[in-house]
């Protein structure tokens, strides 16, 4: 049971010229087992939506609400949101020097579950999760994301998704910069997550190609800080054929 | 003394540069510092308990215990022992000159040629009172082609001024781990000088956590080509603490290498760290390679980290020379990333600091010591960074 509900969300950032509104009233409800794809041109505010849900301090919510199963997400700190069941797979995962992947994963799992994972099964779980995305288990001893290629960073995000097992996963352009093999591996990871039960997925992407591997229930077109159209998978096909022009010109 | 001074002066050929202050065994040659001198300008003289002036150095408030593996000798030496000064050490400031002249305890650790003891030599200096100042002079000789590790540990409460000389024989490999784990009220001014033999390796890992004021001058020169110096440092200054490291690598021989990397964290009002990294590449030092870096992580307001790398190059015929210095706060993106995985803020901060130091600890290369250092860092973090409170 998981419902992420976003209502009339307005978000601004501080710029040299003063505050600038990026999200201009976003409405979206993701229910159990639903996969929503948000597609839009560059600069439309897609990533801002992802980071606002996760609570990045750069993004200031000026009005609206975000709730997870009725609980006020906006009142929670970044780590509380994660413990409540939200997960953000980032477009640019951050390097953390000197902290090993295995230490990081164990610390995160302990934080999410409220207790340390059982040593006996944990090592196996980590190895399995890494095997599944074809990451050498030697990565466990490397520093978090340090020296990882773009594709390795994205696979590491999927490893975390599998191990931390959130209620709702927000994937921010997880497909960008991936070659076709890596794209398939990452997509399979997301599909395994979906099969786990009542999970919500919010897939933010610029391109339609990932939607060949992950079938969305809903496709939303996002332009200039708000949803301008909603449809089924067929909407993605239209975007594939015609691009964003129709929506961009309509918004102007 | 005059003849000795002269011979040293000839051998050293002091370069006229602030990187290389005037050196002399004679205390009278070193005026009582006022705090305006380049080499003293960062140090709170008032907190030196007169070490830089005329405070008696004949105390015995800092005891020494040593544990050496078979074959390694530890003995007291006479004030006129030829071992003293065998590293080419010449005092570069008043405190070092006073210790040279007045040390009540002079002793030597000798690792025979080709010896390779598996266990480290462990020397622990324990301060029992800080009322009286203690001066001590230690000479560590690593024989040709020997391979050994020495651990120097400073604990307790005391006022100590000490000179330590390292004579690293040709082809020898000496690793020194020095840990200042003093109580909060200790004052320690140390001078360390190494002479690194032909194709020898000298690794110096300096860990400074405790004490009210800790100032280390660590210097190295080469006795022949092909020598390698690695100086790693790790420090953590809390509220009111002053930790100062002054390093000088004198590339006086060709095809020598040096790598200096110091990392520090600061937390609390009045925490002050100083890092001066000096490297001199002489005309004869062709084909050398040097890199020095200092990184500071400032955890709270009210701290000050001074960091000054200096590189003086007298020959262009080198393999490489570089330096880097960076002082910054927590990386917000790192904290966000960790927290977005459910990790609470104070735990995320602890992880980042742990990682910052861990990167350096992994370079120590002695597994048992790495574990010990990790534990020391964890204890320090538990005392400080783990403490919950306003960020």
Domain count, chain A: 1
End-to-end CA distance of chain A: 39
For A107, the closest of B351, B356, B362 (CB atoms) is B351
CATH number assigned to the domain comprising residue A131:
3.40.50.300
| pLDDT score recorded for residue A245 | 85
State whether A82 and B342 contact (CB < 8 Å): yes
The DSSP call for residue A95 is: P
Q: What is the pLDDT of residues A6-59, one digit of tens each?
A: 999 999 999 999 999 999 999 999 998 999 999 999 889 999 999 999 999 999
- Give the residue from A120, A117, A92 showing the smallest Cα distance to A177: A92
Question: Is the Cβ of A63 closer than 8 Å to some Cβ of chain B?
Answer: no
| pLDDT score recorded for residue B390 | 43
- Give the residue from A65, A21, A61 showing the smallest Cα distance to A45: A21
Range A160-165 average pLDDT = 97
**Residue A251: pLDDT band with limits 50, 70, 90:** low
Give the chain B residue nearest A79 (alpha carbons).
B342
Q: Higher model confidence: residue A112 or residue B316?
A: A112
pLDDT at residue B363 tops 90: no
Q: What is the pLDDT of residues B314-338, one digit of tens each?
A: 988 999 999 999 999 989 999 999 9
The string of DSSP letters for B14-64 reads --SBTTB----S-GGGSPPP-S-STTTTTS-GGGGTTTTTT---B---EEE
| pLDDT score recorded for residue A137 | 92
Range B220-239 average pLDDT = 96
B356 contacts in chain A (CB < 8 Å): 97-98
Gap from A85 CA to chain B (nearest CA, Å): 9
* Residue A206: strand, helix, or coil: coil
A/B interface, count of CB pairs below 8 Å: 80
pLDDT at residue B388 tops 80: no
Range B105-121 average pLDDT = 95
- Radius of gyration of chain A, Cα coordinates, nearest whole angstrom: 18
* Ranges of H-type helices in chain A: 46-54, 78-84, 101-113, 119-132, 150-164, 180-195, 233-242, 245-251
Give the chain B residue nearest A98 (alpha carbons).
B355
For A78, the closest of B331, B336, B356 (CB atoms) is B336
State whether A96 and B342 contact (CB < 8 Å): no
| pLDDT score recorded for residue B391 | 41
CA angle (A96, A102, A106) in 5-degree steps = 100
B338 contacts in chain A (CB < 8 Å): 96, 104, 108
- C-beta neighbour count of B369 within 10 angstroms: 19
E-strand stretches of B198-303: 201-208, 213-222, 228-237, 242-251, 257-266, 272-281, 289-298
Q: What is the pLDDT of residues B3-51, one digit of tens each?
A: 555 444 444 455 556 566 789 999 999 999 999 999 999 999 999 999 9
For B355, the closest of A90, A93, A97 (CB atoms) is A97
State whether B342 and A143 contact (CB < 8 Å): no
The DSSP call for residue A93 is: P
Q: Higher model confidence: residue A32 or residue A145?
A: A145
| pLDDT score recorded for residue A16 | 93
State whether B342 and A54 contact (CB < 8 Å): no
**Residue A178: pLDDT band with limits 50, 70, 90:** very high
Q: What is the pLDDT of residues B62-76, one digit of tens each?
A: 888 888 999 999 999
- Radius of gyration of chain B, Cα coordinates, nearest whole angstrom: 20
| pLDDT score recorded for residue A250 | 62
Q: What is the pLDDT of residues A181-225, one digit of tens each?
A: 999 999 999 999 999 878 999 999 988 899 999 999 999 999 999
Gap from A166 CA to chain B (nearest CA, Å): 10
Range B245-261 average pLDDT = 97
B334 contacts in chain A (CB < 8 Å): 94-96
Q: In the predicted model, what is the mean pLDDT of chain A? A: 94
Range of the domain at A132: 4-251
End-to-end CA distance of chain B: 57
| pLDDT score recorded for residue B88 | 96
């Amino acid at each position: 049971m998981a419902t992420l509900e976003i209502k009339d969300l307005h978000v601004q950032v501080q710029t040299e010229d003063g505050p600038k509104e990026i999200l201009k009233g976003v409405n979206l409800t993701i229910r159990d087992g639903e996969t929503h794809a948000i597609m839009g041109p560059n600069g439309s505010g897609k990533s801002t939506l992802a980071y606002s849900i996760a609570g990045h301090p750069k993004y200031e919510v000026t009005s609206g609400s975000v709730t997870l199963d009725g609980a006020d997400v906006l009142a929670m700190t970044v780590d509380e949101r994660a413990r409540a069941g939200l997960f953000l797979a980032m477009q640019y995962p951050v390097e953390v020097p000197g902290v090993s992947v295995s230490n990081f994963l164990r610390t995160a799992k302990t934080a999410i579950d409220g207790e340390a994972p059982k040593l006996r099964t944990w090592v196996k779980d980590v190895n399995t999760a890494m095997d599944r995305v074809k990451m050498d288990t030697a990565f466990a001893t490397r520093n978090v994301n340090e020296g990882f290629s773009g594709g390795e960073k994205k696979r590491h995000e999927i490893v975390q998704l599998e191990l931390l097992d959130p209620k709702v996963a927000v994937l921010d352009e997880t497909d960008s910069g991936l070659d076709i093999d890596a794209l398939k591996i990452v997509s399979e990871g997301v599909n395994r997550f979906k099969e786990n039960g009542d999970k919500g997925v919010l897939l933010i992407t610029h391109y339609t190609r990932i939607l060949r591997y992950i079938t969305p229930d809903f496709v939303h077109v996002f332009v200039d800080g708000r949803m301008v159209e909603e449809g089924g998978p067929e909407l993605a096909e239209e975007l594939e054929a015609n691009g964003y022009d129709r929506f961009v010109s309509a918004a102007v | 003394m005059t003849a000795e001074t002269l011979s040293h002066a000839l051998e050293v050929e002091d370069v006229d540069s602030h990187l290389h202050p005037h050196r002399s065994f004679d205390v009278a040659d070193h005026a009582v510092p006022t705090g305006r001198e380049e080499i003293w300008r960062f140090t709170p003289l008032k907190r030196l308990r007169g070490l830089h002036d005329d405070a008696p150095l004949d105390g015995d408030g800092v005891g020494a215990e040593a544990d050496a593996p078979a074959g390694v000798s530890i003995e007291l030496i006479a004030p006129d022992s030829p071992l003293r000064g065998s590293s080419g050490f010449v005092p570069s400031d008043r405190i070092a000159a006073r210790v040279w002249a007045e040390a009540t305890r002079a002793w030597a650790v000798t690792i025979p040629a080709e010896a390779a003891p598996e266990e480290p030599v462990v020397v622990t200096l324990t301060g029992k009172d800080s009322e009286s100042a203690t001066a001590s002079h230690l000479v560590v000789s690593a024989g040709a082609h020997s391979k050994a590790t020495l651990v120097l540990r400073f604990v307790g409460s005391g006022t100590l001024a000490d000179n330590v000389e390292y004579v690293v024989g040709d082809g020898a490999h000496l690793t020194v781990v020095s840990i200042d784990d003093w109580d909060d009220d200790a004052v320690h001014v140390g001078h360390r000088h190494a002479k690194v033999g032909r194709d020898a390796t000298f690794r110096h890992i300096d860990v400074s956590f405790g004490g009210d004021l800790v100032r280390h001058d660590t210097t190295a020169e080469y006795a022949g080509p092909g020598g390698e110096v690695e100086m790693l440092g790790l420090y953590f200054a809390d509220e009111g603490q002053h930790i100062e490291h002054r390093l000088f690598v004198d590339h006086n021989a060709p095809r020598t290498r040096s790598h200096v990397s110091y990392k520090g964290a600061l937390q609390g009002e009045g925490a002050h760290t100083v890092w001066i990294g000096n490297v001199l590449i002489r005309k004869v030092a062709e084909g050398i390679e040097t890199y020095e870096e200092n990184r500071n992580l400032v955890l709270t307001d009210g701290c000050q980290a001074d960091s000054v790398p200096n590189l003086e190059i007298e020959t262009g015929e080198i393999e490489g020379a570089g330096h880097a210095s960076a002082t910054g706060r927590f990386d917000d993106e790192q904290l966000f990333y960790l927290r977005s995985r459910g990790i609470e803020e104070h735990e995320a901060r602890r992880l980042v600091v742990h990682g910052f130091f861990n990167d350096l600890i992994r370079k120590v290369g002695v597994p048992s010591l790495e574990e010990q250092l990790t534990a020391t860092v964890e204890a320090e973090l538990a005392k400080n960074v783990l403490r919950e409170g306003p960020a």
